[in-house]
A and B are shown apart, each in its own frame.
Chain A
Amino acid sequence: MSLTGNTMNYSSDNDPAIQEFNTSKLLKNARKQAEDRNYKDFFICDVDSHHYETEALPEILQYMDDPVMRHLGLSAGNVGRAGLIPQAIGSQDMAGRVTRYAGRNKEIVPEEPHRDITLARRWMDAMGTDMACLFPTPMLLLATHPQVEVEVAMARAYNRWLSERILEEDNRLVSMVYLPMNEPHEAEKMIDEFAEKKGVVGFLSTGYLKRPVHDSANMRIYAKLEEHGMPLGFHAAYHWADTSLAQLNKFISVHALGFSFCNIIHMTNWVMNGMPERFPKLKTMWIESGLAWVPFLMQRLDNEYMMRTSDAPLLKKKPSDYMREMFYSTQPMELVDNREALEVTFKMINAESQLLYSSDYPHWDMDLPSTIYDLPFLDEKAKRSILGGNAQKLFNLDPVMSEWKLEANGKG
């Protein structure tokens, strides 16, 4: 039997589009946007960006306490990925159409600093981003691992590696580190271990959880975060095995709904169970669900709440009043033919103080700073707040400007 090839080399290794790969070259048009829009004049912080931590899995496993689990990870056929981190089904790269996925392994970097730092700096410098909050990629689904002890061990090893190898080494990178919400007492220990580490600006709950966010077992986690003054991020993820999403047959469908659905579930539990009343000083940020879900949920919950206040006795005001005090990341912002809806959305969530720019780079649906900067209904002050000022306040950041901006301003 002969194999059928791609007659035109669609996305094959020989395709000229990916024969060589360099992030700065791919993003040269982003750099032009940054220069044309004078991003040198203000601070930009990206609150949701990613690396592929599985590329560094052998390094990360050196930080794992359990030698048997470390051995499992290092001995598996593909460096332990399938054993320790759940694999997601789905063509993120659109069968090679988004070339940075296939090109990534070809990118040449110097020996120092760490490869992930070099790659991050290349896209940050291209986009005009000064500081970025870096998150893992496959580990966004770690909470769905059937073995909770694996989630805890991977989370601790990753957090230690991230802290020591990345955050300690680069002042422009920060992170909200992984919180194993499925094992609350371990999550509490994680907060104690990492809250004071350099570059740790908060903690992260990822994707679908085995226990709802309002479960009594979680209260000490929230109290501890409040004590440390650390924000809690809810980073959405899709989970195709979820019984509702399992009816969807296409990646575009499960991706479009799954990310928003994930945070709609968590937010509904969070608000209707009065978590903002129980932990009034705990700041929450809702990450990577786009923005359109927020007005939808505000309207749905308010409408039902006014008829059924007895169902939610801890609430002292409407659900939308709580939601308007929370923080949201921008990406993937719904941008096609919806300018009026977007403007209303920005008003409904008090975007000028509650919205924080995020790229999600290098993922396929990334957003550039121009998605905010070019909005005609925002004034310059609002643009700068969303692009950097709000993150500076929420994370209590000491802004570190990129070298090219300092040089452009004669301060390099």
Chain B
Amino acid sequence: MPERLLCTVSDLSDKTAKICEVDGVEIGVIRHKGDIVAYKNVCPHQGGPVCEGLKMPQVCVELDDQQRTLRQTFNEDELHFVCPWHGWEFKIATGEAVGDPKYKMKRYNVVERGGEVYVEV
């Protein structure tokens, strides 16, 4: 599969996605838990720039032993891209929508070589 250069490894952070353009298509690339992941910067909902939104952790609810709500918490082990247009959230690890995994961000295979980051297109 042909590869296209996105950026150098040193361009990347785990705070925010770097937006690169390949053949007129924007791709967001970010470090995540030791990996480098890349997704098309188009939300499967209405087309928003999903990789450019906030990165937010999963919201959870803690219940007591009688199923009563204790409090809400953030789970920072599961981070999400949040589409800035409407708030649809996607797991950065898989690209699946939190509300229904059949909605997925388009993911690219990433190749890291010689300090540079390539995607297979």
Give which listed residue, B16, B56, B86, contacts A10 with CB less than 8 A. Answer: B56
- Chain A interface, >50% SS class: loop
Chain B's nearest CB lies how many Å from the CB of A205? Answer: 27
Given contacts A16-B15, A16-B16, A17-B84, contact A97 B47 (CB under 8 A): no
**Residue among B47, B49, B57, B87 making CB contact with A364, cutoff 8 Å:** B87
Does A285 lie at the interface of the complex (its beta carbon under 8 Å from any beta carbon of B)? no
Cα separation A321 to B85 with both chains bound (whole Å): 37
Interface bits B41-72 vs A (CB < 8 Å: 1, else 0) = 11000111100111111000000000000000
Task: Quote the shortest CB–CB distance from A28 to chain B (angstroms).
Answer: 7
User: In the assembled complex, which residues on chain A have CB atoms less than 8 Å from the CB atom of B46?
Assistant: 367-368, 370-371
> Quick check: is A8 within 8 A (CB to CB) of the other chain?
yes
In contact, B42 and A8 (Cβ under 8 angstroms): no
**A279 CB to nearest B CB, Å:** 38
Q: Give the residue of A16, A26, A30, A366 whose beta carbon is less than 8 angstroms from that of B86.
A: A366
The reply to whether A96 and B54 contact each other, CB–CB distance below 8 Å, is yes
- Number of A residues near B (Cβ < 8 Å) is 29
Among B53, B57, B86, B100, which residue has its beta carbon within 8 angstroms of that of A17?
B53
* A94 interfacial by beta-carbon distance below 8 Å: yes
Do A100 and B15 touch across chains, with their CB atoms under 8 A apart?
A: no
| Chain A nearest Cβ from B81, distance in angstroms | 10
Check A99–B53 contact: CB distance below 8 A. Answer: yes
Contact of B15 among A8, A98, A336, A337 (CB under 8 A): A8
- In the assembly, what is the distance between CA of A32 and CA of B52, in Å? 17
Residues from chain A with Cβ under 8 Å of B53 in the complex: 17, 97, 99
B82: CB under 8 A from chain A? yes
B 17-53 binary contact with A (CB < 8 Å = 1; else 0): 0000000000000000000000001100011110011
Contact A365-B86, Cβ < 8 Å, known A10-B54, A15-B54:
yes
**Interchain nearest-CB distance for A10 vs B (Å):** 6
Given A16-B15, A17-B16 in contact, is the A364-B86 Cβ separation under 8 Å? Answer: yes
Q: B47 to A98, Cβ gap below 8 A?
A: no
Q: Which of B47, B48, B54, B57 has the most CB of A within 10 A?
A: B54
B77 interfacial by beta-carbon distance below 8 Å: no
In the complex, whether A33 has a CB less than 8 A from a CB of chain B is: yes
Q: Which residues of A contact B76 (CB under 8 A)?
A: 7-8
User: Does the CB pair A94–B87 fall under 8 Å?
Assistant: yes
- Chain A residues whose C-beta falls within 8 Å of the C-beta of B41 in the assembled complex: 29
Residues 322-374 (chain A) with a chain B CB within 8 angstroms: 336-337, 364-368, 370-371
Nearest residue (CB) in B for A93 is B87
Closest CB of chain B to A58's CB: distance in Å? 30
Q: Using Cβ atoms and an 8 Å threshold, which residues of chain A touch B54? A: 10-11, 15, 17, 96-97, 99
Q: How far is the CA of A28 from the CA of B86 in the complex (A)?
A: 15
Which residues of A have CB within 8 Å of B89? 97
User: Is the Cβ of A98 less than 8 Å from the Cβ of B52?
Assistant: no
Q: A30 to chain B: which residues have CB within 8 Å?
A: 47
Q: A10-B56, A17-B16, A97-B56 are in contact. Are A29 and B82 (CB under 8 A)?
A: no
Given known A-B contacts A28-B49, A368-B47, A98 and B87 have beta carbons under 8 A apart: yes
A366 contacts B84, C-beta separation under 8 Å: no
**Cα–Cα distance between A228 and B66 once the two chains are bound (Å):** 62
CA distance A42 to B60 in the complex (A): 46
In the complex, what residues of A have CB within 8 A of residue B57's CB? 8, 10
Residues of A contacting B15 in the complex (Cβ-Cβ under 8 angstroms)? 8-9, 16
B45 → chain A closest CB, angstroms: 8
Question: Which chain B residues (67-101) contact chain A, with CB distance < 8 Å?
Answer: 76, 82, 84-87, 89, 100
Q: Which residues of B contact A370 (CB under 8 A)?
A: 46-47
Q: Chain A contacts of B85 at CB under 8 A? A: 26, 98, 366
8 shortest A-B CB distances, which residue pairs? A99-B84, A16-B16, A97-B82, A97-B87, A94-B87, A29-B47, A17-B54, A98-B87
Can you list 15 pairs linking A and B with CB atoms under 8 Å apart? A8-B55, A11-B56, A15-B54, A17-B16, A17-B52, A17-B54, A26-B49, A29-B48, A94-B87, A96-B54, A97-B87, A97-B89, A98-B84, A98-B86, A98-B87
